[in-house]
Structure 1
Amino acid sequence: MFSSNNSQKYKSCTKKGGNCFECHKDSRFDNKRFLIIVNVLGSAGPLRFLVNEEDLVSGVIESALKLYAKEGRLPALGSDNSKFLLYCANFGSDALSPWDEVGSCGARNFVLCKKPEQQPNMTEARSHIISRKGSGNWKAWLNKSLTFKISSH
């Protein structure tokens, strides 16, 4: 059993995170852990792992990438979590902020995908001009081919 010194120690410990059995027993329920499912775009199947409710989205992305690599899945994704976005599978189309807590959205199913890559010197106005110019060429080509086919009858 306990010596009188130990029983005094356990009776006097009232702080959370103290060294007594009661404090440790209660602290098990402070961290709410839950199972999440992360579908990786381009991968054969989902990843499943436990997270804490307070874990940041950036940490969840990092854990998903580590598990993905550990399982030897293809295509290889790398380990830079800043190049990926995490979406709630059941809710809107906005990606979660890397600084949000994963438990804040209330979801258990997520989708992980790479951020779209932009060309470094491409401004929005320039890309609009290029796309408009390209569509003009396409229209011209379509008009020429229709005119050619109609005149050959």
Structure 2
Amino acid sequence: MLLYKPKKSQGPKGNRLLVSVTVLGSAGPIRFVVNEEELVADVVDTALKAYAREGRRPVLGSDINGFFLYCPSVRSDALSPWETIGSQGARKFVLCKKPRTEGMEGDERSGSGRKGTGNWKAWIPKSLSIKISSH
């Protein structure tokens, strides 16, 4: 008599994806496997934990609310934390710190050149010009 034994690979529904998350200012991307049904907020949390576990610099912390996740190949605005990661149809993402708005002095805000729009493509050229001009 044979008993039906379900396969272990038939876990949660959805496909598993190997995602690559690049943190601005870090040496290279972090790669890990996620379920395509996972929320963006969960992917950010996993990326921050993997980043810290690997001892990467700069130190980012663990507050997922302080970061934006972008999908540069699909769109230029930040992903909603409540979207599923598989809805983008991409596997490469960029993780950026949100601009600080609380407790910033007027001098700091004018020196950064950012308006807090959340568009990382607009921020990169400005940050490069600041670094180049300071030499």
User: Shared fold by TM > 0.5?
Assistant: yes
Partner of 1:114: 97
Shift of 1:42: 0.5
Shift of 1:39: 0.5
Correspondent of 1:98 among 61, 81, 101: 81
Tell me whether 1:82 sits opposite 2:65 in the alignment.
yes
TM normalised by structure 1 equals: 0.63
TM normalised by structure 2 equals: 0.71
Give the whole-Å Cα distance in 1 for the aligned partners of 2:21 and 2:28: 9
Query: Across the two proteins, how many residue pairs are aligned to each other?
Result: 108
Identity over aligned residues, as a percent?
53
Give the whole-Å Cα distance in 2 for the aligned partners of 1:40 and 1:57: 15
Question: Larger helix proportion, structure 1 or 2?
Answer: 1
Tell me whether 1:37 sits opposite 2:37 in the alignment.
no
Q: How does 1:1-153 map to 2 (within 5 A)?
A: 2=1, 7=2, 10=3, 20-21=4-5, 23-24=6-7, 27=10, 30-119=13-102
Unaligned runs of 5+ in 2: 111-135
Give the whole-Å Cα distance in 2 for the aligned partners of 1:107 and 1:65: 19
Shift of 1:120: 5.2
Partner of 1:150: none
Q: Kindly provide the CA deviation profile for residues 52-81 of structure 1, in whole angstroms up to 9, marking residues without a partner as x.
A: 000000000000000000000000000000
Shift of 1:31: 3.1
Give the whole-Å Cα distance in 2 for the aligned partners of 1:120 and 1:51: 36
RCO comparison, higher one (Cα < 8 Å, 6+): 2
CA RMSD across the alignment: 2.5
Partner of 1:145: none
Structure 1 runs (4+) greater than 6 angstroms displaced: none
